[in-house]
Amino acid sequence: MAEEIKPIGAAVIGCGGMGRHHGWHYKKNPNFEFIGGFDIRQCQQDALEKDLEAKAFESREALLSDPRVELVLVATPNDVHREIVVDALNHGKNVICEKPVTIASTEDLEAMIAAANANGKFFTVHQNRRWDGDYLTAKNVFDKSLLGRTFHIESRVHGSRGVPGDWRAQKPYGGGMLLDWGIHLLDQMLDMMGSRKLKSLFSQLTYVSTSPDEVDDGFRVLCNFEGDITWLVEVTTNNFIPLPRWYILGENGTALDDRWNRRGDTSKLVMVEDWENRDAVPVVLGVGLSKTMAPRTDDSIKEFPLPVVEGKWDDYYDNIYAVLRNGAAPIVTHDQQRRLIRLVEAIFASGASGEAVAFEQ
Ligand SMILES: NC(=O)c1ccc[n+]([C@@H]2O[C@H](COP(=O)([O-])OP(=O)(O)OC[C@H]3O[C@@H](n4cnc5c(N)ncnc54)[C@H](O)[C@@H]3O)[C@@H](O)[C@H]2O)c1
């Protein structure tokens, strides 16, 4: 017999783009009942009522005092996450906070975790991009060693419009691309690497369309994991020719995934058929001859379609339901968030000093 569903009463604080996205999700998912939301701006309150036909609470206190609300989703700009998360936990609510959970502050995160523990409530973060299809596809290549031993992974997103002109362009709100997109890519990297230690890193923050006393408009970080695996993670916003989303190098092959760019798909795996045959006929490259850089001939490599894994965004909320109703273990844990925020702090520190930093020894 199918298990009876006991919908979780959910409400949203901060009803902009992402808050309304969650509200829409609660409305269509039978595991949840969307109770309503609150936003400090009247236009967002109106949009909540009009677009989602949901109750707009007159205040945060009114929302947090409603006994039907079991779960609060916080989707405000990043600077007020701590204050609202702690308030909701102290009102006896379970809480999902949008990423980044804090403006790169371990102290803020520990205050939120302490409030969850003190109130015996569930607190997690919406690290939804662990369920993206491109990430799951790259993870599958790595986990199954489809290229032989993987030794280098490049994960990047390239935009062409600078930093959006809203709060994301302002430091006090926790703007900037490291905290915005970077946090997703770094969370994916730590998830894929699992318990392997991240030994050291070197980062560079960019200010092509912003100034260094404002927010970064991108960054790149080179990470050095135990097991001789390196990662280059890059978020930039001034690219008019975007590079592929994923580029993965293994001992016997290379994988490339550029479905992200929506400009034609050249995603593939290229495998070496006869690795021992290293000798090549020299070719003219530039104004000289080279054997070392001569491309492989067609008879010595084989091309395969990239084995695509579909994204499964609903799995995030399935886990939330299982945690709250059946006592399952959360997928996005406090310790993972501690590691992630510490990593962001280290990337800011390396960017500021211009030096590599040790991370996990
Ligand atoms: N996980 C994802 O894929 C994803 C995607 C986009 C945004 N986000 C995150 O979601 C959060 C919100 O981003 P957004 O794009 O929806 O921004 P947004 O500007 O569209 O919405 C934020 C809303 O919060 C409201 N707000 C500000 N302070 C408030 C307060 N004290 N109480 C109640 N409401 C308040 C604002 O009026 C605004 O309507 C950010 O943390 C962002 O990083 C996550």
Which of 105, 126, 147 terminates a domain? The answer is: 126
Of 13, 15, 18, 44, best ligand 1 pocket probe by most atoms within 8 Å of the beta carbon: 18
46 lines ligand 1 (CB under 6 A): no
Amino acid at 105: S
- Give the span between the Cα atoms of 80 and 101, in whole angstroms: 10
Q: Reply yes or no on whether the pLDDT at 194 is more than 90.
A: yes
| Bridging pattern class, strands 301-304 and 268-272 | antiparallel
Amino acid at 36: G
Q: What pLDDT is stored for residue 281 in this prediction?
A: 83
- CATH code, 243: 3.30.360.10
Q: Reply yes or no on whether the pLDDT at 278 is more than 80.
A: no
- CATH code, 54: 3.40.50.720
Q: What is the mean pLDDT of residues 170-175?
A: 95
Could you tell me if 156 and 188 lie in one domain?
yes
Query: What are 291-310's pLDDT values in tens digits?
Result: 888 888 888 899 999 999 99
| Distance from the alpha carbon of residue 165 to the mean position of ligand 1, in angstroms | 14
282 lines ligand 1 (CB under 6 A): no
Task: Please state, for a pLDDT cut of 70, what percent of the chain lies above it.
Answer: 100
Evaluate whether residue 336 is within a structural domain: no
Residue 182: which domain range?
130-267+305-311+343-358
Sequential DSSP letters for 225-244 = ETTTEEEEEEEES--SSPPP
- Which of helix, strand or coil describes residue 14? coil
Q: Reply yes or no on whether the pLDDT at 276 is more than 80.
A: no
Residue 222 gets the label, from left (phi > 0), alpha (psi -120 to 50) or beta, of beta
Q: What is the mean pLDDT of residues 133-155?
A: 97
Evaluate whether residue 21 is within a structural domain: yes
What backbone torsions phi and psi does residue 218 show, to the nearest 5 degrees? 165, 175
19 lines ligand 1 (CB under 6 A): yes
pLDDT band at 110 (very low <50, low <70, confident <90, very high): very high
20 lines ligand 1 (CB under 6 A): no
Query: What are 305-314's pLDDT values in tens digits?
Result: 999 999 988 8
Could you tell me if 153 and 210 lie in one domain?
yes
Chain position carrying tokens 């006393």: 213
Secondary structure letter of residue 110 according to DSSP: H
Query: What are 8-64's pLDDT values in tens digits?
Result: 999 999 999 999 999 999 999 999 999 999 999 999 999 999 999 999 999 999 999
What backbone torsions phi and psi does residue 174 show, to the nearest 5 degrees? 85, 40
Q: What pLDDT is stored for residue 275 in this prediction?
A: 76
CB burial of 344-354 (b: ≥16 within 10 Å; e: otherwise) equals bebbbebbeee
23 lines ligand 1 (CB under 6 A): no
Count of domains forming the chain: 2
17 lines ligand 1 (CB under 6 A): yes
- Give the span between the Cα atoms of 50 and 54, in whole angstroms: 8
Q: What pLDDT is stored for residue 297 in this prediction?
A: 85
Q: What is the mean pLDDT of residues 222-237?
A: 98
Q: What pLDDT is stored for residue 304 in this prediction?
A: 96
Mean confidence (pLDDT) of the chain: 95
pLDDT band at 240 (very low <50, low <70, confident <90, very high): very high
Could you tell me if 257 and 196 lie in one domain?
yes
Q: Reply yes or no on whether the pLDDT at 262 is more than 80.
A: no
What backbone torsions phi and psi does residue 279 show, to the nearest 5 degrees? -75, 140
Evaluate whether residue 272 is within a structural domain: no
- Give the span between the Cα atoms of 214 and 21, in whole angstroms: 29
15 lines ligand 1 (CB under 6 A): yes
- 119-133, 138-152, 232-246, 291-305: least confidently modelled range: 291-305
Q: Exposed, middle or buried, 99 (CB in 10 Å: 0-12/13-18/19+)?
A: buried
Q: What pLDDT is stored for residue 25 in this prediction?
A: 95
Helix axes 106-119, 81-90, angle to 10 degrees: 10
Q: What pLDDT is stored for residue 1 in this prediction?
A: 63
Query: What are 204-220's pLDDT values in tens digits?
Result: 999 999 988 899 999 99
Q: What pLDDT is stored for residue 277 in this prediction?
A: 74
Torsion of CA 160, 165, 171, 175, to 10 degrees: -60
| Distance from the alpha carbon of residue 51 to the mean position of ligand 1, in angstroms | 17
